[in-house]
Structure formats: structure tokens, C-alpha cells
Amino acid sequence: MRFRQFRGVKHGLIFDLDGTLVDSLQGIAASLNHALALSGLPVHSQEVVRGFIGNGVKILIRRGSPADADDALLDTIERDFKAHYDLTWQTGTIIYPGITDLLESLQSRGYPLAVLSNKPHPFTVAMVSRLFPSVRFSVVLGQRPGIPHKPDPAGALEISDALGLSPAECSVIGDSTMDIETARNAGMRAIAVTWGFHDRERLLAAGADQLVDAPEELLDLNLNPAETAGTHSD
């Protein structure tokens, strides 16, 4: 068995977007309700919509629509949602307090940063670019046609490969049990944040490797576990 030293190699940090870096509930709920109303369907409170978020826009639409909605109606609602969200997400999305400082601090310390979201790729790229202009993310991936979304590990593994790191040298940081499952599926560490859309008890039950209650706590974690161990087996 060969051992490879990783001292000095910075751990890759793969952030979820909605519920982790930004509070996008207001904008998502507004666009979903706009699309539902255009089709003459009942709308939902923000707290109800909170439970719909996390698995991509198609599942968001499915969860928000009547159980008997057919594919044609779901496609119409999705189209109307995207058109409205494209015009309004800027006013319905708020960066969580402390996040920009956190990202800039991690960047200054040399950590490779990435974003992996189930939000459609164009929205993900536009949002990250506009809201975090001072942060150099090495990779930003949203949901793309033909590519399975989280918790499938494909996106996370694509990012680790692009960073030139093994999965074990990366962490997935997110607010949902799905992010924890993504990390597990990819062979990465799972760091769960409690300020997002899932409650603390669910995150604990899902088996996150570490749990943080405020962005600044991430700076106090050992974000380079390989440095502590000193070795890694190939």
C-alpha cells in the first residue's frame, strides 16, 4: 500500500446555494405562486413552499401543483415559473449574514471553492456571479439537462475532478439531508448548516459529519482533515 502526503493541500469546499449561501425562499415562492395563479391553481404560503425546495425545479413544480396535474400543465407552470423568476430573483434573494465574509476569508486562506446546486444552471451561474463578485469560485454547477441532480454524486465528482482533488479531499456544505446524502454518495465529508431550509434534528438524524450554526463557525473547523492525519492511502 502506498501513502501519499497531503500536507499543504487545501481541502475543496463545495457549497450548496439555496438555503446555504442565500435565502431564496421569498423569490421562489413568489414565482411559483405567480405561475400557479396564471393556470388558475391554488397558491401556497412561504412556509409551505419551503418544504418544496431542494430537489430541482421540476420537483418544486410537481410538489406545488395539484396531484392530478398532467405533464402538459406541469410544463406550462414550469415555463411560467422560469420566466417570472428570471425577471424577479434579484429582489427575492438575500445573502445570509456573514456568508460573504466567510467566503472571502476561505478564499484568502487558499481553499478551492465551488458551488453545486439543483437550481437550473443558468440561474445558478447568474446568481453566484451577481451576488458574490469578490469571490473566485473555481466551479459553479447548477442543474443541467441530462445530468442527474443531487443526491446523485455526478456533479460533486465532476467538481472534485475539475479541482484536481480526490473525493476524500472535498467537503459538501449544505442545509439539507440531500446534501448530506450527496456527500456520502460521492465519498466526501458532509458539513451541514442549520440556518437553511431543514431543521437541526433532521440534519443530525441524517448523519452529518459536522454541524454548524453560524457561518463563522466554519472557520473554526478543521477544514483540512488530511493535514491532521498526515497521510492518505491510495
List pLDDT tens digits, range 47-99. 999 989 988 899 999 999 999 999 999 999 999 999 999 999 999 999 999 99
In whole angstroms, what is the distance from residue 11 CA to residue 6 CA?
Answer: 10
Residue 198: the pLDDT is 83
In whole angstroms, what is the distance from residue 136 CA to residue 129 CA?
Answer: 9
In whole angstroms, what is the distance from residue 106 CA to residue 98 CA?
Answer: 12
Q: Over the stretch 190-212, which tens digit does the pLDDT of each residue have?
A: 999 999 988 888 898 999 999 99
Task: For residue 5, name the pLDDT band (cuts at 50, 70, 90).
Answer: very low
Task: For residue 226, name the pLDDT band (cuts at 50, 70, 90).
Answer: low
CATH code given to domain 9-23+94-225:
3.40.50.1000
Torsions phi, psi of 103, nearest 5? -60, -40
Task: For residue 227, name the pLDDT band (cuts at 50, 70, 90).
Answer: low
pLDDT, average across residues 217-221: 90
pLDDT exceeds cutoff 90 at 1: no
In whole angstroms, what is the distance from residue 194 CA to residue 176 CA?
Answer: 9
Q: Where in the chain is the domain with CATH 1.10.150?
A: 25-91
Looking at the DSSP bridge assignments, the partners of residue 212 are: 193
Residue 231: the pLDDT is 34
Q: Where in the chain is the domain with CATH 3.40.50.1000?
A: 9-23+94-225
Mean residue pLDDT across the chain:
91
To the question of domain 25-91 being in CATH 1.20.120, the answer is no
